[in-house]
């Protein structure tokens, strides 16, 4: 089948003179990089736009030093940084083009037709015409800030897990009770550091086995505790906790969750699910024709292999629409009619059940 035929571009395209791109992908995380390789390997000019100044997504920015052990083909695990670097190298070799430090603003429909009606992807720095768009930007998650520490405006307050090797043997305060906070604590402890973990709730939301390992390695855990005050004193941060303890530490790692940027998706005028993620059809296409979505931006299972798989599938469906649009559109029309019939029958069944319940009363 043509879907799986790899047709590499012969040379790097003269991107300055391209009238439009075949595919523009938003996000250079696992889903975006997998999607970009898939389209580029099939001869489509592919541009990836990334809001950060580096590629890699969450594996690179949130846990670069963590050994990820659930990636197929890496029985000894692989760090987020190395995994991102390997994937980026593959994308570069496939002649994928990148624009970093550009944030998505909106996606406009245009009247220009080049086999497909072209769309205009608008960023805070430029705009790009293209035939298809793939959203692979996660849920545009931003680390949730802790005001009492944020006010310090200090590089010693970290909202992503820093390079733990830089703080070998240090005493570190970690704020948060989820898996990310526990992972940070374990990495510090594994490098001879000391950890004090501050958790606002009575119990931790993270894995019980990880908590047991933190305690077994000498980590101190304070539950039902919050950071009340903080100040810089030379190269230390002096912290007052709600349990009465005062600590003086060189670094604080804050891992208290994320805030989703729903506003961007709302500007795109695409249908969202109740949780703010993007709704898609069985072909990974959103409610706007020609805009696809893959990975955390819509999915419930937030694992790197799942993001890869969805990025590849979204890319293949985008490729199919470009290479054989009639076949795919006819199949989609059939599937949409089937789904509409299911919804109609479900509504009729719900109405009948409600009527029967009333009659029984």
pLDDT the model gives residue 73: 86
Q: What is the mean pLDDT of residues 183-204?
A: 91
**Same domain, residue pair 137 and 269:** yes
Q: Do 72 and 305 form a contact (C-beta atoms < 8 A)?
A: yes
**Same domain, residue pair 288 and 252:** no
Cβ burial of 191 (10 Å; 0-12, 13-18, 19+) is: middle
- State the Cα angle at 83 between 82 and 86, rounded to 5°: 85
**Same domain, residue pair 51 and 131:** yes
CATH number of the domain within which 299 lies: 3.50.50.60
**Same domain, residue pair 135 and 272:** yes
Residue that is last in its domain, among 241, 256, 271: 256
**Same domain, residue pair 278 and 329:** yes
Closest CA to 243 of 223, 260, 259: 223
Cross-strand pairs, 157: 252
- DSSP-assigned letter for residue 291: E
pLDDT the model gives residue 60: 65
What is the domain range of residue 182? 145-256
Total of domains in the chain: 2
Closest CA to 130 of 36, 22, 207, 52: 22
Residue that is last in its domain, among 231, 256, 281: 256
* pLDDT-derived band at 309, boundaries 50, 70, 90: very high
**Same domain, residue pair 37 and 161:** no
Q: Over the stretch 76-125, which tens digit does the pLDDT of each residue have?
A: 888 888 888 898 999 999 999 999 988 898 999 999 998 889 999 999 88
Say which residues have a Cβ less than 8 Å from residue 361's Cβ, sequence separation at least 6: none
Closest CA to 277 of 291, 293, 289: 293
pTM: 0.65
Cross-strand pairs, 248: 238
Q: For the chain, what percent of residues have pLDDT higher than 90? A: 48
**Same domain, residue pair 13 and 134:** yes
- Residue 276 gets the label, from left (phi > 0), alpha (psi -120 to 50) or beta, of left
């Amino acid at each position: 089948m043509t879907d799986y035929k790899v047709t590499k571009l012969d040379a790097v395209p003269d991107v300055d003179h391209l009238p439009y791109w075949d595919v523009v992908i938003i996000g250079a995380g696992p889903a975006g990089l997998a999607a970009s390789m898939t389209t580029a390997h099939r001869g489509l000019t592919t541009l990836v736009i990334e809001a950060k100044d580096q590629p890699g997504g969450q594996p690179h920015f949130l846990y670069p030093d963590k050994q990820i052990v659930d990636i197929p083909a890496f029985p000894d695990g692989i760090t987020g940084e190395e995994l991102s670097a390997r994937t980026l190298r593959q994308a570069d070799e496939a002649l994928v083009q990148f624009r970093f430090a550009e944030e998505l603003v909106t996606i406009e429909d245009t009247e220009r037709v080049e086999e497909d009606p072209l769309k205009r992807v608008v960023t805070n720095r430029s705009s790009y015409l293209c035939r298809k768009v793939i959203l692979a930007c996660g849920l545009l998650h931003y680390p949730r800030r802790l005001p009492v520490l944020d006010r310090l405006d200090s590089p010693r307050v970290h909202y992503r897990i820093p390079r733990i090797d830089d703080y070998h043997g240090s005493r570190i305060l970690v704020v948060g009770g989820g898996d990310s906070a526990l992972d940070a604590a374990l990495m510090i402890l594994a490098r001879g550091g000391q950890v004090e973990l501050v958790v606002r709730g009575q119990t931790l939301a993270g894995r019980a086995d990880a908590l047991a390992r933190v305690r077994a390695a000498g980590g101190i855990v304070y539950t039902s505790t919050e950071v009340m005050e903080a100040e810089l004193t030379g190269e230390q941060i002096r912290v007052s906790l709600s349990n009465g303890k005062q600590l003086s530490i060189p670094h604080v790692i804050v891992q208290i969750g994320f805030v989703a940027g729903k506003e961007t998706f709302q500007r795109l005028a695409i249908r969202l699910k109740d949780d703010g993620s993007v709704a898609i059809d069985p072909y990974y296409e959103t409610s706007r024709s020609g805009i696809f979505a893959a990975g955390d931006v819509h999915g419930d299972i937030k694992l790197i292999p799942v993001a890869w798989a969805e990025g590849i599938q979204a890319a293949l469906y985008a490729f199919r629409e470009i290479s054989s649009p009639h076949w795919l559109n006819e199949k989609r029309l059939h599937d949409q009619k089937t789904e509409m019939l299911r919804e109609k029958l479900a509504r009729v069944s719900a109405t009948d059940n409600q009527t029967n319940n009333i009659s029984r009363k």
